[in-house]
Amino acid sequence: MKRDGALESLWQSEIKVYGHENDVNRTHLDVVIVGAGITGVTTALNLQKKGFDCMIIEAANMGHGTTSGTTAHLNTFFDASYDEVIDDFGLDAAKLLALAAGEALEIIHGNVVEFNIDCDYSPRTAYLFSLDEEQEKILDDLVEGSRKAGIEMNETGINPFGIPSTKVVEIPGQAQFHPIKYIKSLMGEYVKDGGRFVEGCRVAGVEKEGDHLVVSTQQGNIVCDHVIYATHLPPGKNIMHFRNAPYRSYVVALKLRDNNYPQALGYDLYEAYHYYRTHVINGEEYLIAGGEDHKTGDIENTNECFERLVNYVGRYFDIERVAYRWSSQFYESADGLPYIGHLPGSPDNVYCATGYTGNGMIFGTLAAKTLSDLVATGDSIYKKLFDPARTKPLASFTNFVKEGADVVKHLLFDRFSVDKIRTLAALENGQGKVVNYEGYSLAVYKDDTGKEHILQSDCTHLHCTVKWNSEEKSWDCPCHGSRFGINGEVLTGPAVKKLKKPLNPE
Ligand SMILES: Cc1cc2nc3c(=O)[nH]c(=O)nc-3n(C[C@H](O)[C@H](O)[C@H](O)COP(=O)(O)OP(=O)(O)OC[C@H]3O[C@@H](n4cnc5c(N)ncnc54)[C@H](O)[C@@H]3O)c2cc1C
């Protein structure tokens, strides 16, 4: 199965590409769902169960996006901790969020049972641990907030990961699974009952015509009543692009010499935090560790992130070898909660689901629940909490301002300054770099045979300058997270057009 990066994730090794049909031509559909990750596939199945005639349209293949780059911890606590949610949104909102988290876990477990899905689903206890005084203070606040919201957290003396900690808290009732096996089975159920699924077809946008919607795709237009963007950011230009910031996170799957693989989920409280769990693939057990998050495009030599991660984890575990390593992209919302609901500035009946941070297995499942309820009835108990048009009710938009400022910095700073003239000859094989060359800002990659692939470095979404990602071999846009392959093809939206060749503009 293909993913939107050059490195192979643990989940790709088992699963082949799902079969697809090529025909988008259909007179009138109830719902078009754009994107076949956990959000799109779960939403389509939910809507189909409610009697809607659906089509999933996927630009690449099922699981091409973050769902194959995830680590698939299933948690009832989030990157935005309950104490922060209480401060920013109030206690009632935090309680509703805790209820939603529990419901998402039940939905996933319910699907596993109902469809008899073999996806290595395992209940797990999670452990949050502080490594110093500062982290301990954060942990204390987090535990207090979680308890107020209704999430059970208990102090314990043991850290099953063997990492010396000043305090350890256990959270029962969590879980893990194989994300691609899970969505592949959901897709199987959906297709079996007549659901339509088109792969290799990018959606460019949607417009209202009369009383219906027209979705424009690479393979022609589709008429429907509802459109759900399960794509993180929707294509085109939208307020969501300024309320979400793209980040990359790094993961390694490790073989350990002592074969001591803790059967638990673990997290420290660094900013960015490290996360741990184990999984058996083809009879081999691995420790999966992640972290080293940064704003997309901020680091070009991404090998350094993997090295830092392995060195850090090596302090506590006896690493025999790094079996897999990969990175993937998530989106952080302006206020910590996801945006799930009507897409602001678009016609009625157009929806989005984004800003999941590192909790998209749960929020993707909740998006499916919320959006299918909105389509079916116009309402959902989570409508207000996740409303994409909300303004943060209590606190100021600190992150929003910060991320917004970053976007502006990249727009002005990257395009018109700094990158000094470098000659193409300065590149080694396998390296890429944005260079100024006779007045052009160019994204230049020299492949392993020494052939140069030269593109304009302007992102085709909103014209920020793309940055090289040395390990995933991609050009990543720091503004809104669009990513392109070495020949300019779109790997990740919101861009819908490939990077242009410098002398042959399309
Ligand atoms: C390293 C890492 C670890 C993580 N670990 C966890 C974890 O442990 N637990 C957890 O809950 N969450 C985790 N997350 C977050 C979670 O994996 C994601 O939020 C989730 O997978 C998002 O699923 P999705 O279906 O919304 O998006 P995706 O899986 O990215 O799917 C979007 C799909 O839309 C398609 N698409 C995009 N644009 C278009 C278009 N214009 N036309 C057609 N198709 C289009 C893409 O090709 C893609 O297949 C992690 C994230 C990262 C980066």
- pLDDT tens per residue, range 289-330: 999 999 999 999 999 999 999 999 999 999 999 999 999 999
Give the strand pairing for 167-176 and 154-156: antiparallel
Top-confidence residue, 79 or 423:
79
Q: Token pair for residue 228?
A: 């759900």
Which of 28-37, 264-273, 450-459 has the least mean pLDDT?
450-459
Question: Which residue minimizes the CA distance to atom 31 of ligand 1?
Answer: 37
Question: Which residue minimizes the CA distance to atom 52 of ligand 1?
Answer: 70
Is the pLDDT at 337 greater than 80, yes or no?
A: yes
d(Cα 72, Cα 419) in Å, to the nearest integer? 38
Does residue 238 have its Cβ closer than 6 Å to ligand 1? Answer: no
Q: How confident is the model at residue 435 (pLDDT cuts 50, 70, 90)?
A: confident
List of residues 6+ apart from 100 with CB closer than 8 A: 366, 382, 385
Is the pLDDT at 419 greater than 60, yes or no?
A: no
So what's the pLDDT on residue 392? 62
Cα atoms in the 13 Å half-sphere on the side-chain side of 66: 31
Q: What is the mean pLDDT of residues 248-258?
A: 98
Does residue 66 have its Cβ closer than 6 Å to ligand 1? Answer: yes
Bridge partners of 456? 442
CA 161 from centre of chain? 26
Query: Alpha helices, DSSP H only, in 179-320?
Result: 179-192, 240-243, 303-314
- Could you give the C-alpha distances from 112 to 104, 116, 179, 189, 342, in angstroms and in order? 12, 5, 12, 12, 29
So what's the pLDDT on residue 501? 80
Does residue 290 have its Cβ closer than 6 Å to ligand 1? Answer: yes
Q: Token pair for residue 45?
A: 């199945």
Top-confidence residue, 427 or 240:
240
Sheet holding 490-492, edge to edge: 467-469, 474-476, 483-484, 490-492
Bridge partners of 175? 74, 123
Does residue 338 have its Cβ closer than 6 Å to ligand 1? Answer: no
Helix axes 38-49, 179-192, angle to 10 degrees: 30
d(Cα 337, Cα 354) in Å, to the nearest integer? 9
- Could you give the C-alpha distances from 132 to 159, 162, 163, 426, in angstroms and in order? 14, 15, 12, 44
Question: Which residue minimizes the CA distance to atom 16 of ligand 1?
Answer: 360
d(Cα 350, Cα 328) in Å, to the nearest integer? 27
CB of 6 closer than 8 Å to CB of 471: yes
CB of 54 closer than 8 Å to CB of 48: yes
Does residue 235 have its Cβ closer than 6 Å to ligand 1? Answer: yes
Does residue 479 have its Cβ closer than 6 Å to ligand 1? Answer: no
CATH of 414-492, one of 1.10.10.410, 1.10.150.120, 1.20.140.10, 2.102.10.10: 2.102.10.10
Q: Token pair for residue 269?
A: 């409280």
Does residue 67 have its Cβ closer than 6 Å to ligand 1? Answer: yes
Q: What is the 8-class DSSP label of residue 170?
A: E
Which of 70-84, 395-409, 491-505 has the least mean pLDDT?
395-409
Domains of the chain: which residue ranges?
Answer: 414-492
Strands (E) in 334-388, as ranges, are: 339-342, 350-354
Does residue 236 have its Cβ closer than 6 Å to ligand 1? Answer: no
So what's the pLDDT on residue 19? 59
Bridge partners of 340? 353
Mean model confidence pLDDT for the chain: 90
List of residues 6+ apart from 314 with CB closer than 8 A: none
Report the number of secondary-structure helices (H) and strands (E) in the chain: 10, 24
Does residue 234 have its Cβ closer than 6 Å to ligand 1? Answer: no
Does residue 35 have its Cβ closer than 6 Å to ligand 1? Answer: yes
So what's the pLDDT on residue 237? 85
d(Cα 58, Cα 189) in Å, to the nearest integer? 17
Which residue from 3, 178, 356 has its CB within 8 A of the most atoms of ligand 1, so it is best to mutate? 356
Question: Which residue minimizes the CA distance to atom 37 of ligand 1?
Answer: 231
Does residue 490 have its Cβ closer than 6 Å to ligand 1? Answer: no
So what's the pLDDT on residue 428? 87
d(Cα 215, Cα 243) in Å, to the nearest integer? 24
Ligand 1 atom closest to the Cα of residue 290 is 1
Q: Under DSSP, is residue 52 helix (H, G, I), strand (E, B) or coil?
A: coil
CB of 171 closer than 8 Å to CB of 124: no
Around Cβ 145, how many Cβ atoms within 10 Å? Answer: 21
Does residue 325 have its Cβ closer than 6 Å to ligand 1? Answer: no
DSSP class per residue in 171-216: EEEEEE--HHHHHHHHHHHHHHTT-EEE-S--EEEEEEETTEEEEE
Is the pLDDT at 410 greater than 70, yes or no?
A: no
Q: How confident is the model at residue 440 (pLDDT cuts 50, 70, 90)?
A: confident
Ligand 1 atom closest to the Cα of residue 251 is 1
Q: For the chain, first and last CA: distance in Å? A: 30
Around Cβ 395, how many Cβ atoms within 10 Å? Answer: 13
Which residue from 7, 57, 58, 70 has its CB within 8 A of the most atoms of ligand 1, so it is best to mutate? 70
Does residue 60 have its Cβ closer than 6 Å to ligand 1? Answer: yes
Is the pLDDT at 43 greater than 80, yes or no?
A: yes
What does the buried/exposed string (b/e) look like for 328-361 if buried means 16 or more CB atoms within 10 Å of the residue's CB?
A: bbbbbbbbbbbbbbbbbebeebbbbbbbbbbbbb
d(Cα 380, Cα 390) in Å, to the nearest integer? 15
Amino acid at 393: P
Does residue 361 have its Cβ closer than 6 Å to ligand 1? Answer: yes
Does residue 65 have its Cβ closer than 6 Å to ligand 1? Answer: yes
Does residue 222 have its Cβ closer than 6 Å to ligand 1? Answer: no
Give kind and range of the element (H or E) at residue 491.
strand 490-492
Ligand 1 atom closest to the Cα of residue 367 is 26
CA of 196 to the centre of ligand 1 (A): 20
Does residue 36 have its Cβ closer than 6 Å to ligand 1? Answer: yes
CA of 359 to the centre of ligand 1 (A): 10
Q: What is the mean pLDDT of residues 138-153?
A: 98
Does residue 328 have its Cβ closer than 6 Å to ligand 1? Answer: yes
Q: Under DSSP, is residue 351 helix (H, G, I), strand (E, B) or coil?
A: strand
CB of 251 closer than 8 Å to CB of 69: yes
Place of tokens 């919607």: 213
Place of tokens 């680590």: 71
Is the pLDDT at 506 greater than 60, yes or no?
A: no
d(Cα 410, Cα 467) in Å, to the nearest integer? 11
Residues across the chain: 506
d(Cα 351, Cα 35) in Å, to the nearest integer? 13
Of 45-49, 413-417, 428-432, highest mean pLDDT: 45-49
Question: Which residue minimizes the CA distance to atom 4 of ligand 1?
Answer: 70
Q: What is the mean pLDDT of residues 226-240?
A: 94
So what's the pLDDT on residue 17? 57
Question: Which residue minimizes the CA distance to atom 34 of ligand 1?
Answer: 35
d(Cα 6, Cα 12) in Å, to the nearest integer? 12
